[in-house]
Amino acid sequence: MADQELDELTAHVSDFLAAHDPRALGRREFLRARFDAGLAWVHFPVGLGGLGLARESQTHVDALLAEAGAPDNEPERNTIGLGMAAPTILQFGTDEQKHRFLRPLFTGEEVWCQLFSEPGAGSDLAGLTTRAVREGDTWVVNGQKVWTSGAQTSQWAILVARTNPEVTKHAGLTYFLCDMSAPGIDVRPLRQITGEAEFNEVFLTDVRIPDAHRLGAEGQGWQVANATLMNERVTIAALPRPREGGMIGVVADTWRRRPELRTPELHSRLLKLWVEAEAARIAATRLRQKLAAGQPGHEGSAMKLGFAGLAQRLSGLELELLGADGLRYADWTMRVPDRSDFTGHDAGYRYLRAKGFSIEGGTSEVLRNIVAERVLGLPAEPRVDKDIPWKDLPR
């Protein structure tokens, strides 16, 4: 970013803060004004929360606002909306959709969830069976989704459904923006091994979605969904972290505070994982720099794959390091978590919750195929179903 451009951006933030004192305004009022001033996502277009600047300029804006004591938009409450729905709507949405959804999404007034996975499709998203049938200007949707984080507190969802069973499974999908308060939506919590009901299954029975809430063209759902998934994997695995941020910091802190727990073997394993965590942090920085120049690529799949394995190995080492104390779990109760706070729990919770990292955002098995084929250029696995109409596939 050129010095003159940086100075102009700094002055713009200063003028904004002079006119909108964060100590005098409520959170929502401040965030709405921030969006209107183009300081929500500075790389977005003017009028849509941005200034048309380079993506890396956002770090500078965020730092200036934080220094002034400005409230954030509680990103942990709306991870799917901010990290997945917003960039997808920007890329594929109509002007009306962008102006309708982006502002309340940024301010947190509308929280989003993701209706992609299904019980019968497993990791094969293109094999989904939820149907959307068009009736005039409305689509009628029937089916079941599963592993939907935050469905019970979300106002909107990104939804992929099958609109044409006569073509191949990838070609017959369409992407929708679904109102979670619409009649026919039934959200049921799924209790997981941690005791929480972080995920849900969602049943859709004759849910009516206006065609105005279709994102992208009919039959373009696979392309739109792939853009969402690429952004999701970057969101999960490439968040900005300081050195020793995340799980490696938790384990290293325990090592320093509890010398009686140390053994040479555990020390060797910790050092190796520390180096791996630092390499992953630097790689994530490079990935964000590449993202600043355009849309995320398949490298995000490699980052997410590495992140899942590293977090699981670190949580396992922490459990071994703590011995009997590692089995403590203070709050194994049925509850709906308000926000994602992985490192703020007991070691026992982290060990159990980390198992889900190799499933959410794409299973590790699927991501290995993506990395092998799309990044390394290795031969693809045989796929006997890719040229067969979906209706003729065995299920």
Q: Report the phi/psi class of residue 242: left, alpha or beta, with left for phi > 0 and alpha for psi in -120 to 50.
A: beta
Q: What is the pLDDT of residue 217?
A: 98
- Once rounded to an integer, what is the mean pLDDT over residues 275-291? 81
What's the pLDDT band for 388 if we cut at 50, 70, 90?
very high
What's the pLDDT band for 300 if we cut at 50, 70, 90?
confident
Residue 154 falls within a domain, yes or no? no
- Confidence check: pLDDT of 338 > 60: no
Higher pLDDT, 386 or 79: 79
Catalytic annotation, pick one of 232, 260, 265, 299: 232
Q: What is the pLDDT of residue 9?
A: 95
- Confidence check: pLDDT of 289 > 70: no
Known catalytic residue: 260? no
Residue 285 falls within a domain, yes or no? yes
Mean pLDDT, the chain, integer: 89
Q: What is the pLDDT of residue 386?
A: 80
Length of the chain: 395
Interval 354-377: pLDDT, tens: 988 888 777 888 888 888 888 888
Q: What is the pLDDT of residue 333?
A: 67
E-strand ranges in 98-244 read 112-115, 131-135, 138-145, 156-162, 173-179, 185-190, 199-210, 214-215
Q: Which of 72, 102, 126 is the last residue of a domain?
A: 72
- Confidence check: pLDDT of 191 > 90: no
Report which listed range, 163-172, 227-236, 382-391, is most confident: 163-172
- 270 touches 252 (CB < 8 A): yes
Tokens 């964060």 appear where? Answer: 22
Poorest-confidence range of 36-50, 100-114, 347-361?
347-361
Q: Which of 29, 52, 72 is the last residue of a domain?
A: 72
- Confidence check: pLDDT of 114 > 60: yes
Poorest-confidence range of 119-133, 185-199, 287-301, 346-360?
287-301
Q: What is the pLDDT of residue 326?
A: 84
Query: Helix (H, G, I), strand (E, B), or coil: what is residue 140?
Result: strand
Higher pLDDT, 132 or 195: 132
Residue 272 falls within a domain, yes or no? yes
CB atoms within 10 A of CB 387: 7
* CATH value at residue 285: 1.20.140.10
Which residues are paired to 210 by β-bridges? 138
How many folded domains does the chain comprise? 2
Q: What is the pLDDT of residue 40?
A: 97
Residue 116 falls within a domain, yes or no? no
Q: What is the pLDDT of residue 220?
A: 98
User: What are the two backbone dihedrals, phi and then psi, of residue 40, each rounded to the nearest 5 degrees?
Assistant: -75, -60
Poorest-confidence range of 94-98, 298-302, 303-307?
298-302
Q: What is the pLDDT of residue 341?
A: 59
Residue 169 falls within a domain, yes or no? no
- 145 touches 111 (CB < 8 A): no
Higher pLDDT, 75 or 65: 65
**Structure-block tokens of residue 215:** 């994102």
Poorest-confidence range of 123-132, 312-321, 331-340?
331-340
Q: What is the pLDDT of residue 365?
A: 86
Residues 6 or more apart whose CB falls under 8 angstroms from that of 100 comprise none
Residue 367 falls within a domain, yes or no? yes
Residue 387 falls within a domain, yes or no? no
- 219 touches 156 (CB < 8 A): no
- 70 touches 30 (CB < 8 A): yes
Q: Which of 51, 72, 93 is the last residue of a domain?
A: 72
Q: What is the pLDDT of residue 339?
A: 52
- Once rounded to an integer, what is the mean pLDDT over residues 243-248? 87
Give the range of the structural domain holding residue 241, as residue numbers without chain letter: 225-375
Residue % of the chain over a pLDDT of 70: 91
Residue 319 falls within a domain, yes or no? yes
- 104 touches 50 (CB < 8 A): no
CA distance linking residue 174 with residue 215, whole number of Å: 8
CA distance linking residue 259 with residue 61, whole number of Å: 41
